[in-house]
A and B are shown apart, each in its own frame.
Chain A
């Protein structure tokens, strides 16, 4: 069984959530947490560990299988660890961008975004259906290059652990050099925002440099109050609806759509519709820019 940093980090997650709860309470922020929202977030997180236990072995087996085709074996050399971590973070960026731009992947990722709160408990809203959505394919190239499957999975786990602490409003801004290179609470607040200017921005896992490099970076504007969640807010704390609602929506749309449009409801961006009755992120942003006379 590969080393799983997330399992060791769980007690730290629990302690930090309790710490943030107390901090926000005594700082007078009555809206930072909502007990039912926190319950839903944590239940989704708990369920995701069960899903991970069921499908983790399959992902590992696929990585081992692909690794067999690698032209060279990098092995466990010390220098391979930082290299693997950086390349895995790039793979995460590609996955995460796809997860917001392709509805099939979004259906699995959306539950991470469906809370209207942004606190450390939100970080634990992880997918139950990542394997079904084929999210693992983004990490297969690393195995094909020659990185050890166990190293890839450990780096992926460390990446996930890093992303926990950035889900907070308690930390405002960090030193400029850190904000320039690393993903931070400020950058990730932008990612969780549904304000038109922030939609589909800041996909980074650990290093924000990927967004700066590929043109998807947006800085947080302190003047623009952030609204968190998804474009069409769920409006329910129902655990199973939160986890599966987008899959249900896809099934409904594919069933109702004319034959020539059915597949588009799987691979086009969230919000796309064949009759133009809905709005994608790009359409929302365009409308917002037009309203400001900027386009």
Chain B
């Protein structure tokens, strides 16, 4: 077997071994927000900053939605054990179903926030142009 192929196969085996060890050691937990303060800190860490004036947490802590003083909407979306900051594009309609809200036609961004869902439905996402 040529040395290059042997090196590739060996490296592939090492990749599988490391990923397996990572999984076995518990590096597979989903991201979770413990409270609004933690969500606020993560919103603030967005590049250039995002200062929330209103935050709603997913009831399971799996996501968050926030509005800043300029009326911009942003979300924290789980990605592995981290969160991804996403600014909701201007003029995105916010759909409400029960105690959940969904920005635009993006079911994967659906967030269950409880009774306050109706308040976010009243958000004029047309303001989200900051």
- Tell me the A residues contacting B by CB distance below 8 Å: 7, 10, 14, 17-18, 21-22, 25, 30-39, 42-43, 45-46, 49-50, 53, 116-117, 121, 194-196, 199, 225, 227, 231, 233-237, 279, 283-285, 287-288, 291
Whether the Cβ atoms of A25 and B18 lie closer than 8 Å is no
A233 to B23, CA, bound (A): 23
A36 to B20, CA, bound (A): 10
Whether the Cβ atoms of A10 and B12 lie closer than 8 Å is no
Q: Interface residues of B, CB < 8 Å — how many?
A: 33
Number of A-B contacts (CB under 8 A): 107
Whether the Cβ atoms of B11 and A34 lie closer than 8 Å is no
Question: With contacts A287-B49, A291-B49 known, is A121 near B18, CB below 8 A?
Answer: yes
Question: With contacts A46-B15, A53-B4 known, is A199 near B81, CB below 8 A?
Answer: no
A14 to B10, CA, bound (A): 11
Q: In the complex, which residues of chain A have a beta carbon less than 8 angstroms from the beta carbon of B27? A: 21, 25, 30, 32-35, 38
Whether the Cβ atoms of A195 and B45 lie closer than 8 Å is yes
Whether the Cβ atoms of A49 and B7 lie closer than 8 Å is yes
A57 to B80, CA, bound (A): 38
Please report which residues of chain B, range 1-36, place their CB below 8 angstroms from some CB of chain A when the two chains form the complex.
4, 7-8, 10-12, 14-15, 17-19, 21-23, 25-29
A284 to B50, CA, bound (A): 11
Closest-by-CB residue of B relative to A227 is B45
Whether the Cβ atoms of B45 and A46 lie closer than 8 Å is no
Q: Which 8 A-B pairs have the closest CB atoms?
A: A34-B80, A35-B22, A33-B27, A284-B48, A42-B15, A116-B82, A233-B84, A235-B84
Q: Is B85 an interface residue (CB 8 A)?
A: yes
Contact of B48 among A42, A45, A196, A235 (CB under 8 A): A196
Q: Is B74 an interface residue (CB 8 A)?
A: no
Whether the Cβ atoms of B77 and A235 lie closer than 8 Å is yes
* Chain B facing A: main interface SS: mixed
A284 to B46, CA, bound (A): 10
Q: In the complex, which residues of chain B have a beta carbon less than 8 angstroms from the beta carbon of A291? A: 48-49, 51
Whether the Cβ atoms of B48 and A17 lie closer than 8 Å is no
Question: With contacts A14-B14, A49-B8 known, is A33 near B49, CB below 8 A?
Answer: no
Contact of B82 among A25, A31, A236, A284 (CB under 8 A): A31
Whether the Cβ atoms of B82 and A49 lie closer than 8 Å is no
A235 to B45, CA, bound (A): 16
Whether the Cβ atoms of B7 and A34 lie closer than 8 Å is no
Can you spell out 28 A-B residue pairs with CB atoms less than 8 angstroms apart?
Answer: A10-B10, A14-B18, A17-B18, A18-B18, A21-B22, A25-B26, A25-B27, A31-B82, A33-B22, A33-B27, A34-B27, A34-B80, A35-B19, A36-B28, A38-B19, A39-B22, A43-B15, A49-B7, A116-B79, A117-B82, A196-B48, A196-B49, A231-B47, A235-B79, A235-B84, A237-B80, A279-B47, A287-B49
